[in-house]
Amino acid sequence: MFKRLICFLLVLSLAFSLSPIPLSAFEPSPEDRALLNKIEKDTFQYFTRFSDKITGLTKDSSRPGSPSSVATTGFALAAYAIGGSHGWIAQDYAYARILTTLQTLRRKAAHQNGVFYHFLDARTGNRVWGSEASSIDTALAVAGALLAARYYPGTEIEKLANEIYERVNWKWLMNGSDFICMGWTPEGKFLPYYWDSYNELMILVALAIGSPTFPVPPGAWERWLRPEGDHNGHKIIYASTGSLFTYQFSHAYIDFRKLDDRGVNFFENSREATLANREYSMSFSGQHKGYSESSWGLSASLGPGGYKAYGGKPGGGLQDGTLAPYAALSSIVFTPEFSIQSARFFYDSYPKELYGNFGFKDAFNLDKQWWANEYLGIDQGITLLMLENYLNGEIVWKKFMELPAIKKWIELTGLKQRSASITTN
């Protein structure tokens, strides 16, 4: 507990300052490191199992009949590159799977001005469910493609990834406004919703500003709102739902540890948000059986009543006894000790109910004795990438930060580089 107190006092006294705040040095035990490696490898298997062998498009969920999701397909591209680098699959197989998927995205998958539809038929690449051409899901697909290209420079993979990125008309997505629109449909045209306040939008805006073909103005980075709130002494710029994934998705690819945004470091912000989320969960331990110091993690997930935007404070604060293991585990770069403690607890306590061939299932609720019987692709994806950064030399961050588009984004927005980064272990 004294380590946690020291960390809290440091963050509280220096929040939003220019000086980097190191995490307390924490080294997982050999047993815990072995468990994390197992979870990462098992999680990877989702993408080999639920990606179409002909098109490469990856199912949104393990549920029978699920269509493919373009965001999950982006995570699959990253996963294949990572899996090949570890020898979980043969390098030539990894290359072939990535190439097939990129060929589908480039030549077959339905899109509007380069913006992919959210859900696609895995066999045909056609739009399904009347889904929108989605800006954030396209950004996640592009991020996965560009990362995969960094593992295979100078190849057809790199060529196709760049072509897919260069085709996206990010400027069109602004629809004459100051913000990027969330999506477009043939029936109703632009949706009435825009990325105008803090959430998972940072990866989207970074790629849009860094685009070599259809860039949005650098001012698009400054204009989105940064609402400030506090929970239990944790002062953060918060997302409206308080869902942990909103503090994780952009960080899967972008290393924010050295980046200062007008006095704000978003890595520190996500760490504080994680601590606030954990403590918010724990405050209901007397009300819900599943909430404790080791059992926490409120994020958008399946639940007894369907998919909901569970989250902590500040923000929406929706909770009903449901927890998502991926939420705690994917915060491992921010809160390694607490996240590993949680992963160990979930794995040891509910091995049959919560863990399967593809890692942790999506969520559970002890009050109602409800256990998700499926995996969600985007939750598997964020788990895999965060574990890879934590366990293996921050390799995803290192590769992604070398992209010309990311360097352009940093330069054009005037983000300041810190002299030293925050350590993650």
pLDDT tens string, the chain, 425 residues long: the values are 333 333 333 333 333 333 333 434 789 999 999 999 999 999 999 999 999 999 999 999 999 999 999 999 999 999 999 999 999 999 999 999 999 999 999 999 999 999 999 999 999 999 999 999 999 999 999 999 999 999 999 999 999 999 999 999 999 999 999 999 999 999 999 999 999 999 999 999 999 999 999 999 999 999 999 999 999 999 999 999 999 999 999 999 999 999 999 999 999 999 999 999 999 999 999 999 999 999 999 999 999 999 999 999 999 999 999 999 999 999 999 999 999 999 999 999 999 999 999 999 999 999 999 999 999 999 999 999 999 999 999 999 999 999 999 999 999 999 988 765 555 54
Angle (deg, nearest 10), helices 377-391 and 70-86: 30
Count Cβ neighbours within 10 Å for each residue of 225-264 and write b for 16 or more, e otherwise: eeeeeebeebbbbbbbbbbbbbbbbbbbbbbbbbbbbeeb
Whole-structure pTM value? 0.93
Nearest to 298 by CA among 271, 269, 319: 319
pLDDT of 422 reads: 58
296 falls within a domain: yes
Helix 404-413 × helix 202-210 angle, to 10°: 100
**387 is a domain residue:** yes
For residue 337, give the CATH number of its domain.
1.50.10.140
Structural domain includes residue 423 = no
Residues 6+ apart with CB under 8 A from 11: 21, 234, 268, 271, 272
Range of the domain at 347: 26-417
What separation in angstroms does the CA of 51 have from each of 54, 116, 283, 425?
9, 17, 40, 33
Q: Compute the Cα dihedral for 57, 61, 66, 71 and give only its sign.
A: negative
The answer to whether residue 3 is domain-embedded is no
Specify the 3-state DSSP secondary structure of 234.
Answer: strand
Smallest CA-to-CA distance from 77 within 154, 156, 4, 143 is with: 143
| CA dist., res. 322 & res. 411, Å (int) | 42
Q: Using DSSP, state whether 230 is helix, strand or coil.
A: strand
Number of compact structural domains in the chain: 1
Does a structural domain hold residue 15? no
In a domain, 260, yes or no: yes
Specify whether the CB–CB gap between 53 and 59 falls below 8 A.
no
Note whether residue 19 is domain-resident: no
CA atoms within 13 A on the CB side of 118: 13
Q: What's residue 423's pLDDT?
A: 56
Contacts for 117 with CB less than 8 Å, ≥ 6 apart: 70, 109, 110, 111, 127, 128, 131, 132, 133, 134
Q: Is residue 389 part of a domain?
A: yes
Single-letter amino acid, residue 289: K
